């Protein structure tokens, strides 16, 4: 008899959910059972758009024995409460990045997963791209010698008229928690261990919008053999999001490093380019690469794991601890 599919419940009805759905619909081993939002109207619109069979309140979703895993793509400050309620109801959870607004909150979430015997993962989809797998193999095989430095930035410009979570301190807005976490996870991918120190500078309330969040920031992590990761994040400046990984015998370039589909390797003045297009099994959909993360979650749930062996709780905790330290220095907490 065929194994039954993993059954998902979705929360919220925002920007990311519409992007994520394009990946979810490419995955065979899943069934999307229901969507829930604070406003029934937006959940209904989401259900209609994506052909999701049921609209539920969050409480109904938690009580629903047909749902195995809940996806939590809501503003950062709501992650912890919703994830903990879902896990206490026996649901597995995929929670958007950053998994929580500080390391202590994620510690409690991790403990909740452990005590309920359910799976919990931060949705840091970057780890699961074939292009990132290729980069990791190059680093392991010493293709560019010993890695000495990583340089990456993730920063975009919200328009002056934008009103939403990114510019609100009460939603833990600002660049570091929204996109700087991708830089910090990239450093985890490249070095595979925690830095010995991290320091940075942020610009807060520097223009006529008077934003009390990190509008832009630069930060440098140092590792135990002197390696560096030089990183930037922001919500008011568009920056080139290419990662450069420098070794003693060459360098690797990863355009759009947070969701890459190509990689360049340069050695002895010669550059080779490798391409990893995202497979689109369903006509009319344009998945940016969410299918890789979703397949990983389904596989972990099938194995009965409480955490991913890739985006481990330790990795998420490390990234959030670095954010805590930077945000404390910037007087944002
Ligand atoms: N992985 C990625 O590529 C990616 C990309 C973008 C964003 N994200 C992450 O996804 C999360 C959501 O981002 P977004 O841009 O989609 O946000 P968004 O559009 O501002 O909000 C998403 C939805 O969350 C619901 N919501 C808002 N406040 C809530 C609260 N306090 N409690 C419960 N639900 C609430 C809203 O629906 P209702 O008002 O109807 O409840 C809203 O439609 C963020 O943490 C972000 O970092 C990830």
Domain ranges (residues) in the chain: 6-124+295-302, 130-275
Question: Cβ neighbours of residue 312 under 8 Å, at least 6 residues apart?
Answer: none
At residue 208 the predicted structure's pLDDT band, cuts being 50, 70 and 90, is: confident
pLDDT tens, position by position, 152-179: 999 999 999 999 999 999 999 999 999 9
Class (C level, CATH) for 6-124+295-302? alpha beta
At residue 14 the predicted structure's pLDDT band, cuts being 50, 70 and 90, is: confident
* Across 123-132, 187-196, 208-217, least confident range: 208-217
pLDDT tens, position by position, 261-292: 999 999 999 999 999 999 999 999 999 999 99
- Six token digits for residue 254: 């990863």
Tell me the C-alpha to C-alpha distance, in Å, between residue 281 and each of 131, 222, 262: 19, 42, 20
**Does the CA dihedral 130-290-124-149 come out positive or negative?**
positive
Residue 2's pLDDT is: 66
Residue 1's pLDDT is: 55
Q: Helices (DSSP H) in 196-270: which residue ranges?
A: none
For ligand 1, whether the C-beta of 92 sits within 6 Å is no
- The beta strands (E) that lie in 73-207 are given as 92-95, 120-122, 147-155, 197-204
Task: Report the distance separating Cα 74 and Cα 76, nearest Å.
Answer: 6
Half-sphere exposure (CA, 13 Å, Cβ side) for 64? 22
pLDDT higher than threshold 90 for residue 230: yes
- Kindly report the protein residue whose alpha carbon is nearest to atom 9 of ligand 1: 96
CB atoms within 10 A of CB 328: 11
The secondary element (H helix, E strand) that includes residue 195 is none
Kindly compute the dihedral angle of the four CA atoms of residues 56, 95, 180, 253, in this order, to the nearest 10 degrees. Answer: -110
- Kindly report the protein residue whose alpha carbon is nearest to atom 36 of ligand 1: 12
254-259 average pLDDT score: 98
Q: What is the mean pLDDT of the chain?
A: 97
| 98 upstream amide cis, omega within 30 of 0 | yes
**Does the CA dihedral 236-241-247-251 come out positive or negative?**
negative
For ligand 1, whether the C-beta of 23 sits within 6 Å is no
pLDDT tens, position by position, 290-315: 999 999 999 999 999 999 999 999 99
For ligand 1, whether the C-beta of 39 sits within 6 Å is yes
Name the phi and psi angles at 102, rounded to 5: -155, 165
Task: Report the distance separating Cα 149 and Cα 279, nearest Å.
Answer: 31
This prediction's pTM = 0.97
Atom of ligand 1 nearest to the CA of 38: 41
Whether the CB-CB separation of 129 and 289 falls below 8 Å is answered with yes
pLDDT tens, position by position, 57-104: 999 999 999 999 999 999 999 999 999 999 999 999 999 999 999 999
Residue 10's pLDDT is: 98
Residue 279's pLDDT is: 95
Tell me the C-alpha to C-alpha distance, in Å, between residue 295 and each of 28, 108, 287, 331: 9, 26, 13, 39
Whether the CB-CB separation of 91 and 6 falls below 8 Å is answered with no
Residue 207's pLDDT is: 86
Percent pLDDT > 90 in the chain is 96
The third-level CATH classification (topology) of the domain covering 130-275 is: Dihydrodipicolinate Reductase; domain 2 (3.30.360)
Q: Which of 9, 75, 235 for mutating ligand 1's site (highest number of atoms within 8 Å of CB)?
A: 75
Task: Considering only the C-alpha atoms of the chain, give the largest distance between any 2 of them, rounded to a whole number of Å.
Answer: 64
pLDDT higher than threshold 90 for residue 46: yes
Atom of ligand 1 nearest to the CA of 13: 43
- Kindly report the protein residue whose alpha carbon is nearest to atom 7 of ligand 1: 16
What's the 281 CA to ligand 1 centre distance in angstroms?
A: 27
The sheet carrying 228-234 orders its strands as 197-204, 214-222, 228-234, 147-155, 243-247, 250-254, 262-267, 270-275
- Kindly report the protein residue whose alpha carbon is nearest to atom 18 of ligand 1: 14
Task: Report the distance separating Cα 329 and Cα 201, nearest Å.
Answer: 8
Q: Measuring CA to CA, which residue among 159, 153, 175, 126 is closest to residue 240?
A: 153
DSSP 277: P
């Amino acid at each position: 008899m065929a194994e039954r599919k993993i059954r998902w419940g979705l929360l919220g009805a925002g920007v990311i959910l519409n992007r994520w759905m394009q990946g979810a619909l490419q995955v065979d081993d899943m069934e999307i059972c229901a969507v829930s939002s604070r406003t029934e109207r937006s959940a209904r619109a989401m259900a209609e758009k994506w052909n999701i069979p049921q609209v539920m309140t969050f409480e109904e979703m938690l009580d629903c024995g047909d749902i195995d895993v809940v996806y939590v793509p809501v503003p950062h400050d709501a992650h912890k409460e919703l994830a903990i309620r879902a896990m206490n109801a026996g649901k597995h959870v995929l929670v958007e990045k950053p998994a929580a607004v500080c390391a202590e909150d994620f510690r409690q979430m991790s403990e909740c997963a452990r005590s309920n015997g359910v799976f919990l993962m931060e949705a840091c989809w970057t780890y699961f791209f074939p292009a990132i797998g290729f980069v990791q193999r190059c680093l392991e095989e010493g293709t560019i010698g010993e890695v000495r430095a990583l340089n990456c930035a993730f920063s975009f410009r919200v328009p002056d008229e934008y009103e939403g979570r990114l510019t609100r301190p009460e939603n833990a807005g600002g660049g570091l928690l929204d996109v700087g976490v991708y830089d910090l996870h990239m450093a985890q991918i490249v070095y595979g261990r925690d830095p010995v120190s991290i320091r940075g500078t942020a610009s807060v309330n520097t223009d006529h919008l008077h934003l009390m969040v990190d509008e832009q920031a630069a930060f440098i992590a140092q590792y135990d053999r002197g390696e560096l990761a030089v990183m930037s994040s922001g919500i008011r400046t568009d920056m080139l999001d290419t990662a450069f990984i420098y070794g003693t015998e060459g360098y690797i370039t990863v355009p759009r490093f947070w969701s890459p589909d190509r990689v360049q390797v340069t050695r002895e003045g010669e550059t080779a380019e490798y391409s990893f297009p995202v497979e689109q099994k369903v006509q009319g959909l344009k998945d940016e690469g969410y299918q890789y993360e979703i397949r990983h979650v389904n596989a972990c749930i099938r194995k009965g794991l409480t955490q991913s062996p890739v985006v481990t709780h330790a990795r998420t905790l490390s990234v959030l601890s670095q954010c805590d330290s930077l945000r404390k220095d910037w007087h944002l907490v």
